[in-house]
Every structure is written in structure tokens, then in C-alpha cells.
């Protein structure tokens, strides 16, 4: 077994999720909000892999779910950045407060 206990991984995931949640709820810049959401998804991936390795019945299913979550996060980032670029071209800002309508 590894010399690092499961509680260390869970603490790391908790810290990453809290930082991501803080950034997603308090920041006004859309890019920072997208990065914060990615941090939260990475915290979930750490939890999935940790419970896959240290759980009651260790198996590879947590790692498979983590791979699916990584692919969903990559697609979310691509779509989010495409929407952000489109909004920036029309509104000339990345501030969330100024993106309250879909009209020009």
C-alpha cells in the first residue's frame, strides 16, 4: 500500500473544492468562474480515485468514472470558452454582471 493515507487525499480534495466554490460564487470574471468550476471537478476526481483505491472493495470503477468526468470537464471547458468568446465579440467584456441578456 501507499504511505499516504486516504485522509490526506480527502483533505486535498476538500481544499480544492472549497477554493473552487469560493471562486465560482464570488468572482465576476467569467474565465475565473470557469477555472473555479474545473477545480471543483478535479476535487471530485480526486475523491473518486481515492475511494477507488482505499474503499471497502477496491476496484477500478472509480478510476473509470474519473476518466469520464475528465472528458466531461474538457467538453465543458471547450463549450464554455466558445460561449465566452462569442459573448466577448458581441459585448466586449468578460464581466458576468454585464452579461445579463442574450440580446445585443
pLDDT, tens digit (0-9, with 9 covering 90-100), for 74-100:
998 899 889 888 888 887 877 777 777
Q: What is the pLDDT of residues 2-33, one digit of tens each?
A: 588 889 999 999 999 999 999 999 988 888 99
> pTM for the complete prediction?
0.79
| Per-residue pLDDT at 88 | 84
The residue extents of the domains of the chain are 6-91
| Per-residue pLDDT at 12 | 96
The arrangement of secondary structure in 6-91, i.e. its CATH architecture, is: Orthogonal Bundle (1.10)
> Which residue matches cell numbers 464554455?
80
The helix (run of H) or strand (run of E) holding residue 94 is none
Amino acid at each position: 500500500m501507499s504511505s499516504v493515507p486516504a485522509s490526506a487525499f480527502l483533505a486535498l480534495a476538500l481544499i480544492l473544492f472549497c477554493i473552487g466554490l469560493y471562486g465560482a460564487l464570488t468572482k465576476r470574471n467569467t474565465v475565473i468562474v470557469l477555472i473555479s468550476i474545473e477545480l471543483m471537478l478535479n476535487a471530485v476526481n480526486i475523491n473518486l480515485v481515492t475511494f477507488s483505491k482505499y474503499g471497502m472493495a477496491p476496484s477500478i470503477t472509480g478510476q473509470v468514472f474519473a476518466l469520464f468526468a475528465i472528458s466531461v470537464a474538457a467538453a465543458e471547458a471547450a463549450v464554455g470558452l466558445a460561449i465566452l468568446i462569442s459573448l466577448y465579440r458581441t459585448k466586449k467584456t468578460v464581466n458576468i454582471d454585464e452579461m445579463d441578456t442574450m440580446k445585443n
